Structure 1
């Protein structure tokens, strides 16, 4: 789409939903997102990622998708649509960083920084303890922890390796290369 914004979305699931296994949930979510935004979506393969802390819950199935939206696409409206899709798949927002039937994270929208550079940087620099305890009062883009998460970067590198973080100046491929090998190796492809 000419003049549009590239939306990067992370998909994840580690719970069954009405008899559907996490792999099926994520695969069906690809279509749900494409239909909701009336667009074509380019998707990664599916990956298995260990739940943290280990064995506290089932492993996650993760993937990433990229699609284009109009240049005037509104971050809040996009998130509302993604949250509605999660709810349609049985997601209940009860526990932060807990198990879920479907997780759809808007990772980035073009080179947008939301709500502003200072807020994004403050959230990006939080300690791991603060990240788990604090909840932002609105959307923050690019996702403030994307550069730390192999389960986001590994699949995203399949569909948007050259997307460049507007504040860090690094591409998805470069952010992935900076992660420890153990983090990268823990994200295992589960399909050909």
Structure 2
């Protein structure tokens, strides 16, 4: 598969040195997954799902990669592991979380991977940084842009750009 544009990844961290963890994730992604072609600012966000935990730092990256989606997922999971990610509970506190939001306009629904990410439209912490760097990118299933999804997002949790 040739390089594809507009693969969007969401980085999140709420344990440890959060800015350094995000920086380490960006470095690993650039070294192993593809070229970073865009990045949002960093946002401090309220936890989603399980709310009794520290706030997150979130950032969206746009990358260009020659990898197939399943290969990119494997690399992302390895990066999370290398940075200290341990999966205790769904939506729980974590050193690093890297989610594949979009793989271009490809739609995948397999046992290991669902793209577009199934809850993009419900999460302000995803949509705020995504709309910053790709306001006109259109969700291939919902046929709405990132900006439209953000405007219509039912999530009212606090999301503040810090850098």
TM-score past 0.5 threshold: yes
Deviates more, 1:37-46 or 1:82-91: 37-46
Quote the Cα distance in structure 2 between the aligned partners of 1:166 and 1:53: 25
SS state at 1:182 partner: coil
Deviations 1:93-143 (A, max 9, x none): 221111100000000100000038xxxxxxxxxxxxxxxxxxxx3201100
Quote the Cα distance in structure 2 between the aligned partners of 1:67 and 1:187: 23
Quote the Cα distance in structure 2 between the aligned partners of 1:69 and 1:86: 18
Quote the Cα distance in structure 2 between the aligned partners of 1:187 and 1:109: 24
User: CA 1:5–1:115 in 2, change beyond 3 Å: closer, same or farther?
Assistant: farther
Deviations 1:55-81 (A, max 9, x none): 6111010010001123xx321111000
Structure 1 or 2: more strand by fraction? 2
How far is 1:180 from its partner?
A: 4.2
**Which of 12, 16, 20 is equivalent to 1:24?**
20
User: CA 1:96–1:54 in 2, change beyond 3 Å: closer, same or farther?
Assistant: closer
Matched, 1:155 2:129: yes
Structure 2 unaligned regions, length at least 5: none
Superposed CA RMSD in Å reads: 1.9
User: CA 1:85–1:180 in 2, change beyond 3 Å: closer, same or farther?
Assistant: same
Quote the Cα distance in structure 2 between the aligned partners of 1:37 and 1:83: 11
**Which of 147, 160, 163 is equivalent to 1:188?**
160
Give the structure 1 partner of residue 75 of structure 2. Answer: 81
Deviates more, 1:37-46 or 1:151-160: 37-46
Matched, 1:63 2:59: yes
Structure 1 or 2: more helix by fraction? 1
Quote the Cα distance in structure 1 between the aligned partners of 2:3 and 2:84: 35
TM-score normalised by L of structure 1 = 0.78
Aligned length: 162
Quote the Cα distance in structure 2 between the aligned partners of 1:66 and 1:49: 20
Matched, 1:102 2:106: no
Quote the Cα distance in structure 1 between the aligned partners of 2:97 and 2:155: 25
Give the structure 2 partner of residue 143 of structure 1. Answer: 117
Bigger radius of gyration among the two? 1
Quote the Cα distance in structure 1 between the aligned partners of 2:116 and 2:37: 19
